[in-house]
Structure 1
Amino acid sequence: MKTYRLLPLLPVLLAASASADSFELKDGSKIEGTILRTDGSDYIIEVQVTKSIKDERRIPKADVVKQVAEQKDQTEFAAIAALVPAPDLYSESEYEVASAKVQSFIKKHPNSPRKKDAQKIYDTLETELAAIKTGGVKFEGRMIPASERAPKAYGLDASIAASNLKKAGDKGEVVSALREWTKLEKDFLGSSAYRDNKDYALTLMKTHLANVTSVLSGYDARVKARQTGLQGMDQSDRVRSEQAIQEEQSAYAARVEREKADGIKWHTLDPFAKKELDEAKRSLETEIRRLTSLDTSTLQNTEAAYEEAYASITKAGAKKQEIDAAISKARGFNMPQKYIDELQKLAPATPAP
């Protein structure tokens, strides 16, 4: 079997192609690649050597008995096929970007055998986008239209917040998870999602406390080791290293200040920032004590209050007195103002006399 030599060029680090032209040679062998150029009686072909490395080969034209062109539409269809099903909580703008990609494929490949499949993907995305634009949401793999979401908006939004908490926590992103817990507690204290996730939040806090305590216990040794390392450097290297450390400390301090200004409770931690580590430890100990002693059965059932108010306001023949009383009662519960506003918008313009 004839061996076709690699050109003496450095490998090019690029992402792997999904497919390429196929070249069948006289000796029965096949090579997949893309013709870059011709050089006299030879083809210069780019081939995939490994997943991340490409190289070039020189092949005599006379040795190529058959060339099967890459099906670009098949390659590109694989990318748009991955757009459905769309992920949970996809935003309006994300749907629009996805739809535009599919539309571009259809225009670029009008005769593709995958055109019908692409059209189905486009129709699915556009249908879900229309639902999002009118107040719907995709959650737990299902599109929930506005008409279905409205009666349980408070509880549904609480479940979404709890889902964000669990996703971050399950990935080990404890600080992000605790920030999601803070949002859940602030806006949805009276929800079943809050009550159901209290123990999960406690577990996260205990895990974070153990980590912070461990980092604090090694603080002095860590600082000493860094100082020893600096002292072992020559003057110029030491100056540069000290400057880099100072820049890192300043950047960290600025980040913490931004987080505080944004009202973020659980700050980013640095193993050399003892003040923030101490503050985190105290906050965690306080929160763990509070949550451990919290009896969630004594909390107002804000979720039920919202649903009761919705039912009263939207029922057939609802009178103005009933509507006013339902909204007034809802105000007495711990729910964000936006849910009161939604209830008011749902009230009929002309109540029953």
Structure 2
Amino acid sequence: MKLSRSQSAVFALACSAGFLHADIVTLKDGKKLEGNITAETPTSIHMRYRLTPKIWDDKDIPRSEIAEGGILKQKPEEVEILELRKYVPTGDLQSAEQYEQLIQDRLRPFLNRYPGTKEAAEVEKMVKDVQEEKEKVVAGGAKLEGKWLTREEAKAESLNIKAYAIRAAMLAKREAKDYSGALKEFDKLTDPRSGYPASVYYPKAVEEILTVLTTYEKQLTQMIQDQPTLQRLREEGEKKLIEPDLSRFKDAIKREKENWLANYDQERKSTKWYTPNKYELESLKPLAKSVTEEKDRLKDLDLGVITKANEAIARLMRADAKAGKDKAELAKMGEAIVEGEAAAGGANAKSIEFYRAVFSNYRQRHAYFSQQVNATPGQPQPAAAGAAGGSSAIAGTATPGMDDKVAAALAAAAAGTPAPAPGAAPAPGAMPATQPGYPAQPGGVPPGTAPGAYPQGQPQQPQQPGYAQPGYAQQPQQPGYAQPPAAPMPAPEEEGMSTMNMILIGIGIVAVVLLLALLGGGKKKK
């Protein structure tokens, strides 16, 4: 939707010149011609009309061929407002800058050109609506699938909002038939470090990219079959040329290949979805193989299972934002954990590992929030999320407002690991406690842990569904919960003054007195 100011200027110039003025002529045979009537006589009209969406034609049309009342002349504002209606209602995830640009570059110029018209009244309402939406964005809100989210809701939906934007870019490239570009965008959604495989838009994107892979597979297969013929035709055409055309032809082929190779080498460093060359079999065959392998891999995914598990994760993220203060949200969080784990149980082995790590982290957070919500006034703060034990849910006792089955399932999942004694090593499978008073960031590295290293038993980054996880990757941050860095503990103050301190102070005073005496004696001798 973003327009440059030069495009807006051209648009305004076109309007002022009457290029947007449209007339519709209906002939007696039912055919309609849309364009501009440039001249009229008692027996005919001369019209410049659209022969195709991109081709214009001029012709004289006898009035005898025109249906009765078949000439409809539209005013410029009637035509121009049709274009403006395409921008309102606005699209999803627009920025404040885009809203302002729509107002200043499209809507207000219309009001200046056609004041007092009924179309201007409609555009004034558009300005009001767009301005209100802009203010919502400035306040931190977001429009997702036509629905407005508050600042708090947008934070809770951060993962899904980002995944939605990537999916939208993928679909735009699919529409443009840029299949390699669409696959590059899809790869962003499948990156396990991003957490996007747990978004509600991941299974939808899988279905959509499968159509791209099917189409691309057929296209590449045809290109491989056509390559020998294309190469032969090029060589035959070269043989028919004489100088200087022959040298120019060879130079053009050389430059084309050099440019493609430079781009090919650069793309290969970052992706397997490079731009192929129809003359180069070494680029077509590996790409076709990658497309087939990706298509087969995605077909093996159980999208029904992934959809249910990811919807549970979305409910978890919404409840997580308030679960530390609201028992009802805590109960929703517990229910979502149980439902999500039940759904993920039907996934393949690799996907189960992904979801096990995700829900393990949320069980830790649920345990922390449970203690926080049920703490009585004056009671010490519960251990940070990630410290084992201490939760009524993990202990098997239902939190007030929580279904007994939910509490029992959470307790069974956590296995009731007791909290380690102070100074003792954490039990296998337990996450070490973070800084007191803060919930652990799901998948985050605890303070004091070397980068890239995990303590024994700590849940690692969830696996991407359908991928074996190589080594360690950092768990994506939970929207709205940034882990503060661990502050250094201040040294404890001692009461009173020790004997050693008094001795040291006395020695210091004596040294100062002696120094002053020596300096004074030196001055007298002079």
User: Which residue matches 1:43?
Assistant: none
Deviates more, 1:96-105 or 1:311-320: 311-320
Give 1:304 shift. 4.4
* Structure with more contact order per residue of length (Cα contacts < 8 Å, sep ≥ 6): 1
Deviates more, 1:197-206 or 1:212-221: 197-206
Shift in alpha-carbon separation, 1:310–1:221, aligned structure 2, 3 A: same
The number of aligned residues is: 298
User: Which residue matches 1:267?
Assistant: 274
Shift in alpha-carbon separation, 1:311–1:203, aligned structure 2, 3 A: same
Give 1:153 shift. 2.8
- Runs of 5+ consecutive residues of structure 1 not aligned to the other structure: 1-13, 21-30, 35-46, 56-69, 348-353
User: Which residue matches 1:253?
Assistant: 261
User: Which residue matches 1:150?
Assistant: 155
Shift in alpha-carbon separation, 1:248–1:310, aligned structure 2, 3 A: same
Pairing partner for 1:242 from 242, 246, 250: 250
**Residue pairs, 1:1-353, within 5 angstroms:** 16-19=19-22, 49-51=48-50, 52=56, 73-74=77-78, 76-100=80-104, 101-166=106-171, 168-169=173-174, 172-186=177-191, 187=194, 188-260=196-268, 263-294=270-301, 304-305=312-313, 307-308=315-316, 311-315=319-323, 317=325, 319=372, 321-322=384-385, 324-325=438-439, 327-328=441-442, 332-334=460-462, 340=477, 342-345=479-482
Contact 1:178/1:266, CA 8 A, preserved across alignment? yes
Identity of aligned residues (%): 18
Shift in alpha-carbon separation, 1:118–1:198, aligned structure 2, 3 A: closer
Shift in alpha-carbon separation, 1:154–1:242, aligned structure 2, 3 A: same
Shift in alpha-carbon separation, 1:116–1:295, aligned structure 2, 3 A: closer
Contact 1:88/1:138, CA 8 A, preserved across alignment? yes
TM-score normalised according to structure 2 size: 0.47
Give 1:192 shift. 3.9
CA shift digits 1:279-312 (9 cap, x unpaired): 2123224334433445665899577456535533
Shift in alpha-carbon separation, 1:168–1:310, aligned structure 2, 3 A: same
Contact 1:192/1:303, CA 8 A, preserved across alignment? yes
Distance (whole Å) between structure 2 residues aligned to residue 164 and residue 208 of structure 1: 18
Provide the aligned C-alpha RMSD in A: 4.1
Give the AA of the match of 1:226. Answer: R
CA shift digits 1:4-28 (9 cap, x unpaired): xxxxxxxxxx9943259xxxxxxxx
Distance (whole Å) between structure 1 residues aligned to residue 243 and residue 114 of structure 2: 64
Distance (whole Å) between structure 1 residues aligned to residue 22 and residue 210 of structure 2: 50
Contact 1:131/1:137, CA 8 A, preserved across alignment? yes
Give 1:270 shift. 1.8
- Runs of 5+ consecutive residues of structure 2 not aligned to the other structure: 1-16, 24-35, 40-45, 51-55, 60-73, 326-368, 373-380, 386-436, 446-459, 465-472, 485-526
Distance (whole Å) between structure 1 residues aligned to residue 19 and residue 245 of structure 2: 40
Contact 1:306/1:330, CA 8 A, preserved across alignment? no
User: Which residue matches 1:37?
Assistant: none
Give 1:344 shift. 2.2
TM-score normalised according to structure 1 size: 0.67
Give 1:118 shift. 1.7
| Structure with greater strand share of residues | 1
| Structure with greater helix share of residues | 1
Give 1:74 shift. 4.7
Distance (whole Å) between structure 2 residues aligned to residue 345 and residue 50 of structure 1: 60
Give 1:216 shift. 1.6
